[in-house]
Amino acid sequence: MADEDESQDQMAAEWEAMMAEDEDGGSGAGGGDASGAQATRVLSQDEIDSLLGFDEQGAGEEEESGIHAILNSSLVSYERLPMLEVVFDRLVRMMSTSLRNFTSDNVEVSLDRINSARFGDYLNSIPLPAMLSVFKAEEWDNFGLITVDSALIYSIVDVLLGGRRGTAAMRIEGRPYTTIERNLVERMVEVVLEDMSVSFEPLSPVTFKFDRLETNPRFATIVRPGNAAIIASLRIDMEDRGGRLELLIPYATLEPVRELLLQMFMGEKFGRDSIWETHLASELWVTDVEIDAVLDEQLMMLERVMNLKVGDTLMLNATPESEVELRCGGIPMMAGSMGRAGNNIAVRVDRTLKKLGD
């Protein structure tokens, strides 16, 4: 017991000596050790925000950095669809004309951005109050979402009901939208959906139908929260009034036309050339091919074939009246009877053999 106590005391003394040496080495002779000072430097709040990716100065920018960008890296990992940008550009031009006719006012529509996000994260980021319009793509048998913010709702109501220009749209908080407001917004959404159908028509005919209008994001769920979706943000300006409209199309909805949306330009055929196809077809008709006339076939053991010698005789189960089979590349094509035409052996075609699978 005494020996154990002495060994424990000795170990404790050694630990104290090691700790004292570490403290002396960390402080340095005059506190001027650069490595020691760097190891004990405390990060400022700006450096911590930059490291985590929550830089307030760049809060309005789309790009993220730091750990925040790593955590949200899955938001931008989805494939890019070049043709979808062409469709949205065409939609913007058509909406400018359609909304001018709808409101009888000078309307300018601009495309702010196109990005990808999870559906659940998008619903949580919608500023309320807003109207969420669910629409269905008939041919694709799936749904999409159009979000109209409160500024655009009151602007549309003000314009359609004859509000004077130069006055800010009144916004009354804490009350649900009236039936008149819902009906006017529904009419505007139907105009947008009609333009969307026309915009997709050169790529793939599709009809977008209005399904329902919701004010609670929970009731506008069309896919699972983790599913990816394309979000196009449109800005609609009517001189001194306007607002924002966001179009959300899940990737699952676009799956039937995914191959078409991956094209770099409209009508891309991925290497196909109709002129070359026509030329190839015309040349095939004048191509020389070899035809084999088969009198008879026999199945033999490999041993017997290997033992065949010069002078051996093979007996064929064929007579002068037996039918001859004509083959091209090993494929039976026709059948006929063999005869003689002058100094040549000839075969008269009697019937055409059925193709495999017929």
- pLDDT tens digits, one per residue of 61-105: 445 555 555 555 544 445 677 888 888 999 999 999 998 888 888
User: Terminus-to-terminus CA distance in the chain, angstroms?
Assistant: 99
Cα–Cα nearest to 159, from 246, 244, 242? 242
Give the Å distances, CA to CA, from 38 to 22, 34, 49, 290.
16, 6, 20, 85
pLDDT exceeds 80 at position 288? yes
pLDDT band at 215 (very low <50, low <70, confident <90, very high): confident
DSSP annotation of 169 reads: P
DSSP annotation of 161 reads: T
Domains of the chain (ranges, CATH numbers): 76-261 (3.40.1550.10), 288-352 (2.30.330.10)
pLDDT at residue 77, rounded to an integer = 47
CA atoms of 191 and 97, how far apart (whole Å): 11
Ranked by mean pLDDT, the top range of 5-19, 93-107, 271-285 is 93-107
Beta bridge partners of 244: 235
DSSP annotation of 210 reads: E
Burial 232-246 (b: 16+ CB within 10 A, else e): bbbbbebeebbbbbb
CA atoms of 64 and 49, how far apart (whole Å): 12
pTM above 0.85, yes or no: no
pLDDT exceeds 90 at position 145? yes
pLDDT at residue 318, rounded to an integer = 79
CA atoms of 129 and 106, how far apart (whole Å): 26
- What secondary structure does DSSP assign to 304-315, as a single string? HHHT--TT----
Cα–Cα nearest to 129, from 175, 98, 94, 84? 175
Residue 9: both structure tokens together? 């005391």
Tens of pLDDT, residue by residue over 222-255, are 888 888 888 999 999 887 788 899 999 998 888 8
Q: What is the CA radius of gyration of the chain?
A: 40
